[in-house]
Amino acid sequence: MVRDQKTSPQRLGGLVVGNYCHDVLIRDGVVVGETLGGAVAFISAVLDGISIPYNLVSKVGPDFAYTTCRSPIVIPTSRTTLFHAHFDSDIDGNGNGNGNGNGDRVLKRVTVCDPIRASDLDTESKFGFGMAVGVGGEIKPETLERMVDICDLVLVDIQALIREFDEDGTVKLVGLKESGFFHLLPRLGFLKASEEEAVYMDVEEVRKMCCVVVTHGKEGCNVYWKDGELEIKPFEANQVDPTGAGDSFLGGFVAGLVQGLPVPDAALVGNLFGSLTVAQIGLPKFDSRLLQRVKDEVQRRKMQFTSSHERQDDELRFVKPAGHEQFHASLDSAKLIPTCISQECQWDLPSSPPRAVEKAILPQYAGQPKLVLNSIYEEKLHAVEDKP
């Protein structure tokens, strides 16, 4: 057994915890994008698309620019968390910076909304799963501890635990042991990290306490648990914008678990949604026909798995079941369904705030040329590194 806590949610409904944000992308001093941000925005898009029921706890200020989100808690005395992502592109003229294709990014938290406290969570209810997906330091150890008390299974994005901020708001990452959350790891189900974030923990140590999932972008992901590890294949994608790929992965991963898939198959669903997200600019819009096809394939896969495995203990759920490669192929074929791929469709994002709101957020940039683009969560941060 991996641990006493179950590895699949047993109750209907989930709890997603993290603040919505305003994201602003600035390249060479010019604002090129303003849009809805925060991991909860991307995760909600996936869970809503797959029809997974959940409650969301998020805080914003009265300046929050988006009306299509699930109702967040509005803090009258605070402002919505705002991130500026600064890029330099003065080397090759193509936005690559330093000529290396990556571009240095300095991510700064300009304003911060109130943290989400343990008392903000509904303690009268019990949830099948919980997701702690903070981006601006809004989740505290006591909040995560309350989540593990009221949720059967808790999944955490490591950025919610290891992000800290300098006086000027610059993001830095600290070692997981120094984060204040380390003692809670044995009570978690899954801890997700990008390959850049994974260096801030000892994977060999953490995998003995909870399952670790490390995403590798176009290379797929690896799953580590106490007694083994798996490499999960990716899906090809025409990458346009890597914004929120890891968040969409986590949403797809938990959706697969909720539907009763074993961990390797659930990770395939996560990889699929990550690939769909990077093929669009900003917050993704998923074609309804594609979503229905995915739901059908997941349901078919669930029936195959449950009919061939009468006993579903923890260890069995980590083994790649027969038909895993065929499931990958069936999900891949779902991507062949025609979707909105025109340039006009890609740039016409409903998450773009009204011009008046844009100016209220950043009056100093009024009149500057803009494109609708998110700041990028999955790109490598140029940050102060306090590695463990």
Nearest residue to 20 (alpha-carbon basis) of 286, 370, 351? 351
List the catalytic residues.
247
Tokens 């798996």 belong to 230
pLDDT of residue 164: 93
Whole-number Cα distances in Å, 64 to 190, 302, 310, 358, 360 = 31, 40, 49, 11, 10
Residue 344 lies in a domain: yes
Residue 387 lies in a domain: no
Residue 331 lies in a domain: yes
Which run of H or of E encompasses 325?
A: helix 324-334
Positive/negative CA dihedral, 55, 59, 62, 67: negative
The number of domains in the chain is: 1
pLDDT tens-place values along the chain, 388 residues long? 334 444 444 455 899 999 999 988 787 888 877 889 899 999 999 999 999 999 999 999 999 999 888 889 999 999 999 999 787 764 333 333 332 233 456 789 999 999 999 999 988 889 999 999 999 999 999 999 999 999 999 999 999 999 999 989 999 999 999 999 999 999 999 999 999 999 999 999 999 999 999 999 899 999 999 989 999 999 998 887 777 899 999 999 999 999 999 999 999 999 999 999 988 877 889 999 999 999 999 999 998 877 665 445 555 588 888 999 999 999 999 988 765 443 333 333 344 444 333 343 344 334 333 333 333 333 343 444 444 4
Nearest residue to 13 (alpha-carbon basis) of 167, 101, 122? 122
- Local structure of 162: helix, strand or coil: helix
Q: How many CB atoms sit inside 10 A of residue 113's CB?
A: 25
Return the DSSP state at 329: H
User: CA 132 to CA 38: how far, in whole Å?
Assistant: 12
Residue 324 lies in a domain: yes
Residue 5 lies in a domain: no
DSSP strand pairing (190-194 vs 211-215): parallel
Residue 161 lies in a domain: yes
pLDDT of residue 352: 43
pLDDT of residue 342: 37
User: CA 136 to CA 169: how far, in whole Å?
Assistant: 10
Nearest residue to 119 (alpha-carbon basis) of 181, 57, 163, 43? 57
User: CA 138 to CA 8: how far, in whole Å?
Assistant: 26
Kindly report the backbone phi and psi dihedral angles of residue 7, in degrees, each rounded to the nearest multiple of 5, phi listed first. Answer: -100, 5
Structural domain of 149? 14-380
Q: Which amino acid is at 170?
A: T
Nearest residue to 88 (alpha-carbon basis) of 32, 128, 20, 8? 32
Residue 385 lies in a domain: no
pLDDT of residue 33: 79
- CATH number (domain holding residue 138): 3.40.1190.20
Are the C-beta atoms of residues 216 and 235 closer than 8 Å to each other? no
Residue 42 CB burial class (10 angstroms; 0-12, 13-18, ≥19): buried
- For residues 224-250, one letter each, b for 16 or more C-beta atoms within 10 angstroms of the residue's C-beta and e for the rest, the string is bbeeeebebebbebeebbbbbbbbbbb
Residue 386 lies in a domain: no
- Local structure of 105: helix, strand or coil: strand
pLDDT of residue 105: 67
User: CA 47 to CA 271: how far, in whole Å?
Assistant: 14
pLDDT of residue 373: 34
Q: Which amino acid is at 245?
A: A
